[in-house]
Chains A and B, each alone.
Chain A
Amino acid sequence: MLPPQGPPLRGVVFAQPVTGSLHGRDGSLAGATYLAGVSLETTDTPSKVKAAVRLTAPETPALVRHHRRNLGDPTYRVILTGLAVLLPLLMLAVAGQLAISAAPALKKFGFNFMFTTTWDPVAEVYGAAPMIFGTVVSSLLALLIAVPLSLGTAIFLTEFAPRWLRQPIGFLVELLAAVPSVVYGLWGVFVLIPLLRTVAVPPLRAVLGWTPFFKGVFYGNSMLAGGVILAIMIVPYIAAVSREVLLAVPSSQREAAMGLGATRWEAVWSAVLPYGRAGIMGAIMLGFGRALGETMAVTMLIGNRHDLGASLLQPAYTMAAAIANEFSEATTPMYLSALFAVGLVLFVITITINALARLLVWRVAKGAAVGSKAL
């Protein structure tokens, strides 16, 4: 239906001396110089645009010569390129330093470092399996709790909440992200753990006590407490990003679904959420990444025990917590190296998960694009 010249052009209308440029959104016509002019959005016909181009043409040779002598642009490009390269280099430097410092421990323990459970600084035997397990499980537990909570909040705020309520609730949810980690930890020790002990765990145990996940004596500091505090801490990230994603879903999606006779719930479930799933997946992965690296609140609640067990009621450990706890008193070179190795493992796990998330988002985004075409 549309004429084949592509997207509408942004034109520049010039005063004397007549110079300037025209460029489409795809940059195809970009070039020449950027002297004064009046910019306007135009959907002018191609012939008019061409006229404007022709108008500028006779003036260009002198300006091009001037342009060549100008060192500004190349310098600008070099600086920006440098800045852009600097960050990946920094990351490589961090990875390299971690690997070098971790080398003695990795050489001594090899791959067993990741699969053995003994962490004994006196005998200098180090195995990080309980910490790796604890990091992943506590973060997954946090997602299990946080995803429904934050998605529910986001959907309520964009689709169901009365207008006057949206701002205050949205603000309060985002405020959760501003609370310092150590405050969550304190709150966890003095409020959350007693609450878990008296209110949450007895019924959980009554119903699910037969599973391996709720066995053993519950003292408070445990995988469960760590997971719950992490969930509360990542809710604002997932909720805020999901809300933005849902807000960006065109209302034509909702209207179309409602027009087909869908209820509001059906419209959200079948039209709005699928449209935004790439973004929502990204939000969840952002939360997961946060949970993996969180340190202070977790170490105050998880029990800091190098132990591998299925029960959520037992104390556990995370990699970040162990590094923070043990680094300052790691007096022997091998101990220090083992902690660096833990840091390296954490680094690799976080990067892998982020890469997987990126892949997932790309794939889902492709699917969504196909889906939207089909609509």
Chain B
Amino acid sequence: MKRSGFWGLAAVLGLSAAPAAAQQVKLTGAGATFPNVIYQNWMLSYNQANPGVQLNYQSIGSGGGIRQFSDKTVDFGATDAPMTDSAIAAIQGNVLHIPTVLGAVVVTYNLPGVTQQLKFTPALIADIFLGKLTKWNDARITAVNGGLRLPDMDILVVHRSDGSGTSYIFTDYLSKISSEWKDKVGKGTSVNWPVGLGGRGNEGVAATVNQTPGAVGYVELAYARGNRLPYGQVQNRSGAFMNPTLEATTAAFAAAIPNMGPTTDFRVSITDPAAADAYPIASMTYLLLRKEYDDPAKAQALVKFVWWAETEGQAKAAPLGYAPLPAALRPWISDRLSSIMAGGQKVWTASAAR
């Protein structure tokens, strides 16, 4: 108690006098599993360049991240699905959603003897996951795929059994393209799936699809690329069949920027965008920061790290299988970051960073 009070006081005094007071700052965060790989990479690199800042991230899942962030047991949270209005109200609105990288969700399948990449229209995906399409050689599927001969097999839907941001993105997309899905099922990290069976984690879905002829499921793009799973092209709103590339994912985000505006809280869905070159099942993942911190030293170190991740750190995204944020977004992010207060004072300005 005494000690933290002392450091807090020291930090306040230090800020006004000499901003670069060298001291050890420990920051802990918890949340989404999807960005875990790049977060760990970022934190390691950042710590090497700034030995005074120690960062620790636990990938316990988005829901757990939101819980721990709300309970103030961590300095920052991370989530794939944005917090709901009621969850934000429960912590008196003391949260900022800062997007970090983008992810896409791919439709993977197991069809023995089919070497050609499958094409899916939104209607096909919706009806498969609603259980209305039950055979792979259904005329509607072959028609979309140019008369491709598909086996006479039952379609087995594989979904996530654990609550997951991946499910949130996928059901968000389905809710947009199918009113029946929206009414019957809706969107969420866990939903009441009309058909199919549940696999635990991306790896569980992938293993089940791999082991089961006739299966179809959804996994994160980074996971599908890493494990060389077959995945389908998905038709976007302008009619083009898109591969889930990093470029097409970033394009999906870019298309959503005009809908956001400079004062956005970034809690927008970027699935099913209007852009012609966008892959339609994409989403951002967020860091959760507080608008008000108690400890200025911590707040300043945290914001500096986040800004580093948003600028230099973005170069690490593509090699690790994540799509970087469009650079056009940076002014808005720096606006949010510079609004963060601690002890009644701002802790960071964009001009200080440059």
Contact = CB atoms under 8 A, between A and B. Distances in A.
Interface in A191-229: 193-194, 217, 219-221
Contacts of B67: 331
Interface string B88-99: 000000000000
A120 B192 contact: yes
Contact of A122 (B192, B196, B199, B208): B192
A123 interface: yes
B192 A299 contact: no
Contacts of A194: 211
A203 B354 CA distance: 72
Contact of B192 (A123, A325, A330, A332): A123
B333 to A, nearest CB: 25
Contact of A326 (B162, B185, B211, B214): B162
A330 B296 CA distance: 32
A305 B66 CA distance: 26
A193 B204 CA distance: 14
B211 A193 contact: yes
Interface string A281-305: 0000000000000000001100111
Contacts of B207: 189-190
Contacts of A193: 211
B162 A121 contact: no
A329 B64 contact: yes
A279 interface: no
B188 A305 contact: no
Contact of B61 (A123, A304, A328): A328
A219 B61 contact: no
Interface string B47-83: 0000000000000111110110000000000000000
A315 interface: yes
A328 B211 contact: no
Q: What is the interface residue range for chain A against chain B?
A: 20 to 34
A299 B161 contact: yes
Given A189-B208, A331-B84, A326 B200 contact: no
A118 interface: yes
Contacts of B280: none
B62 A329 contact: yes
A220 B162 contact: no
Interface in B231-267: none
A250 B188 CA distance: 62
A223 to B, nearest CB: 11
Nearest to A193: B211
A306 interface: yes
Nearest to A125: B192
Contacts of A122: 185-188, 191-192
B14 interface: no
Contacts of A330: 63, 163, 190
B271 interface: no
Contacts of A189: 207-208, 211
Interface in B141-177: 154, 156, 161-164
B215 interface: yes
B192 A304 contact: no
A113 interface: no
Contact of A299 (B63, B200, B214): B200
Given A217-B154, A329-B189, A300 B212 contact: no
A331 B188 CA distance: 10
Contacts of A328: 60-61, 63-64, 162-163
Contact of A121 (B190, B198, B200, B208): B190
A335 B162 CA distance: 13
Given A122-B188, A329-B162, A332-B84, 10 more contacts: A120-B191, A122-B187, A122-B191, A219-B214, A221-B208, A300-B204, A315-B198, A328-B60, A328-B63, A331-B163
11 contacts: A121-B190, A121-B192, A217-B156, A219-B215, A304-B161, A305-B197, A326-B161, A328-B163, A329-B164, A331-B163, A332-B86
Interface of B: 60-64, 66-67, 84, 86-87, 154, 156, 161-164, 185-193, 196-200, 204, 207-208, 211-212, 214-215
